[in-house]
Every structure is written in structure tokens, then in C-alpha cells.
Structure 1
């Protein structure tokens, strides 16, 4: 069983990679530039295409789209949120997710052909839920809402191919992105997310779920 995780050099991605390896899984961790890791910059289409070519013919049982950015936490409505920041967030948090999935679809289909039940896990956020509107962080919220919508629609199209899709909220986690005041430790989030992803089936494809198993309104 081969698991591929984007953004696996730190935080949640690294935690998931470490835990799955401890459980005996073959894990491919990607990062933009990190010794010993598979090179991948999800903001660069050519980098994503190159990854797909390097992995040609290798089944992937689980694809975790974890790489993401949050850069607008301090922007103000009156004079913040410049256009280039919108472009950066959507390139990484949405387009990068889609292109990575697209590039690795042959690998996921190979897992089906080999009798497996492959799955895609998209790390989004409850801040992308319309039911959780709280103001601020407009770009991050919009990009995570788009990632949620992407996952929901992929679940429809990939169900007949035997590939399940889950969208997950990792919690407010004490990482470089989440900050030191976060409510959930990396260890708690990783343990919960791994459990949710491991248990994902076609019967639940398209789910939007928190790290602790709670369903989140869209």
C-alpha cells in the first residue's frame, strides 16, 4: 500500500507520514525542496507533471492533498487582500490540488485494477464552510471553500471508478500555520485524520468531516 502526501516536510503532513510509516505503509512524502523527499511544488504545473511521470506505473492507494498556504490572516478589509495574494492562494490551495489529483489518477486507477480501494483525502478547513462564516481571512476562506467544492464534485465523478474522496478539517492545529494558541495538537489532529482517512469508503465518498469524526455542514 503506497500513500502519497503533499507538503509532508512539516506539521500535519509530516505527522501523517511518520504515523503511516510506523504502521508499515509505504509513504511517499513530497516537498518543494527537502533532502530525501519527492520534489513537488504544487504551485508549479510543470513540477506536478514531472511527479506524475516519475511515478508512472506505480499504484497509489491513498493520495493526501495536504499542501496549503494561509497568508491573509492580518489583512484588513479596507486596504488588504491584494490580487496577487488571491492568485497565490488559489494556485496552491485549489489549482494545485486539482492538478495533483489529475496527474496521479492513473496511479489511483492502477490500485483499483490491482484489487485495491484507493482514496483521495483533501485537507480543507471548516473556514471554507458557508455555515461557519465568521468574517475575515477572505482569501483563505474562499480558497478552502473552493477545495471543498472540488472534492465534492470529484467524489461524484470518481465513484464509478472505485475511488473514494473525503474532505477534511484538521482542526485549529498548533503548527506554523495555526500558531501557538491553537486548540488542537499536531498529534491529536494526525491521529484523528489518519483514522478518518483509513476508514473512508465509497459509501462515504464526498464527506466533509473534522479530524475527530464530526461531520461539518457544507
Structure 2
């Protein structure tokens, strides 16, 4: 069974992914910001790595050092996120910096440190210069909110750093896919779905849960895992909605009807 590392696994999608992968028999490493490992999700196959805050410069090296010496990760999923709402009249400087750092800066340092330490499975090609074979998979959890192409006047403006930090993460994913291709490491950028989480509730989005087709983190995880299984190096650097357009309010207006599942999203 694969070895999976979930960065940001204490709640929401990360917690659901950790539990689901563990139930399937995968060896799961799961990070938490606190230095006291959480008690949930609890499973014999989950090993907690506490004290990992992706918004700090040392998070990547600390994580690489904390993993057992011979551990090689088959699937890395970066779920850590931060969302504070803003309006044009009330932008929030410190919160914006933290959103960008958490969503777009931190993942670069985490992925780089893990690759440099040999912690993500790499296949460097065949003798004689052949193409790299399939190696590990890096899954960056973004959002349709980071798509410039899907922005539409019906949803208006505001929430500048929430949207733009995800746009920045999308570019990070594309660039990482280019840097890691010769190692056989594929990179996916995904919109896992509009979810019923504390994060969306805390910014007032719970009022749209029903009308927007929001799903539980468990449902989102159940859609994401088979997508990750089928994701290949040929798809690396692309931006996907594994659940399709069902919870993307602007999708039909911009992309048309009868859209496929999974759906490749516009940048």
C-alpha cells in the first residue's frame, strides 16, 4: 500500500483524507500545527507529525527531519489553508499576508525540502536518457476561487487574498510540475469541492451551503482519492475539479453546459 503524507490534517478535508487513506490500508503521516498530537482522526495507520506550521519558513525542513529515516512518500497532499473575509472598504493587511504565506509560499518550501531530502518517491528515467517513469504525486488543494477565468460579475469582488492566494498557488503548482518532471514526480492542483467546514462557516458561507451544493469533507475526500489514484505524469501541472462543475456557480455561464467529470478548470 502507498505511503501518504497529509499536510494540514487536523480538521476538514485533511482529517477526512487521513482517515480514509488509513482505512484503506495506506501508511499515513499527518501533520498538525500544535505540538500535542490530536486524538482525532485516530487510526493505527496514522502517524502524527506535530509542530508543523506551513506558514513558517522552517516547516519543510522540520517535516523532512521528523519523518523516519527510510520513509519515502508516494502521495503528498497539501491541505493547509487560511481564510479571512475582506471587503473593498475593509482590506486586512496582516490577514492577507498570512493567507498568501499559508496558501502559496509555504507549499513551495515544504515540497522543495521533502524532495531535497529524498522523501518523495522519484524515478529519474532509464539509462540512455529515456523519459522519467511515474514517481510520487504532489496534490495541492486549491479552489475554484483561484481561477481568473471563472470570475464573473454575478459573484462580485472582495475577498482579495482568498482568491489571489489560490491563484498564486495554482502558478506554484504549474512551476513545480516543470521542475519535478525529470524526477517523475507529478503535481496536481485541485478544487476539491465547496465544503461544509468550520472555515467556510466562519466567513459566512454557510448561508450558501444548500444552494451552492456544498458537501461534507468526507464526500469531498471520497471524490478526491480516486482522482489521485488515476492521476498520471501526463496530467501534471493541470488544474482540476474532481467532482466536476456541480458546486462552481459560474461554471455554466463561462464554460457551457454538460461539462465532464472530472473537469479541467481554466486558469
Taking only aligned residues, the RMSD between alpha carbons, in angstroms, comes to: 1.9
The answer (yes or no) to whether the contact 2:239–2:265 under 8 Å persists in 1 is: yes
Change (3 A) 1:116 1:109: farther
Provide runs of 4+ in structure 1 moved above 6 Å: none
C-alpha displacement of 1:117? 2.3
C-alpha displacement of 1:116? 6.4
The match for 1:118 is: 136
In structure 2, distance between residues paired with 1:7 and 1:110: 17
Higher gyration radius (CA): 2
TM-score (normalizing by structure 1):
0.91
- Answer 1 or 2: which has greater helix percent: 1
Counterpart of 2:75 (choices 62, 68, 90) is 62
The match for 2:37 is: 35
C-alpha displacement of 1:191? 0.7
Change (3 A) 1:167 1:110: closer
- Mean CA deviation greater in 114-123 or 186-195: 114-123
Change (3 A) 1:112 1:46: closer
In structure 2, distance between residues paired with 1:125 and 1:139: 13
- Mean CA deviation greater in 153-162 or 175-184: 175-184
The answer (yes or no) to whether the contact 1:124–1:169 under 8 Å persists in 2 is: yes
Question: What SS does structure 2 have at the residue aligned with 1:174?
Answer: coil
Counterpart of 2:165 (choices 129, 135, 143) is 143
In structure 2, distance between residues paired with 1:217 and 1:204: 14
The answer (yes or no) to whether the contact 2:6–2:77 under 8 Å persists in 1 is: yes
Count of aligned positions: 215
Per-residue CA deviations over 1:158-209 (Å, capped at 9, x if unaligned) read: 1111000000001110011123442222222111111111211101111211
Question: Where in structure 2 are there 5+ consecutive unaligned residues?
Answer: 39-47, 125-132, 244-261
TM-score (normalizing by structure 2):
0.75
Per-residue CA deviations over 1:18-38 (Å, capped at 9, x if unaligned) read: 111111100001010142521
Question: Where in structure 1 are there 5+ consecutive unaligned residues?
Answer: none
In structure 1, distance between residues paired with 2:66 and 2:165: 29
The answer (yes or no) to whether the contact 1:61–1:108 under 8 Å persists in 2 is: no
The match for 1:93 is: 103
The match for 1:77 is: 88
In structure 2, distance between residues paired with 1:104 and 1:199: 23
- Mean CA deviation greater in 20-29 or 39-48: 39-48
In structure 2, distance between residues paired with 1:111 and 1:51: 16
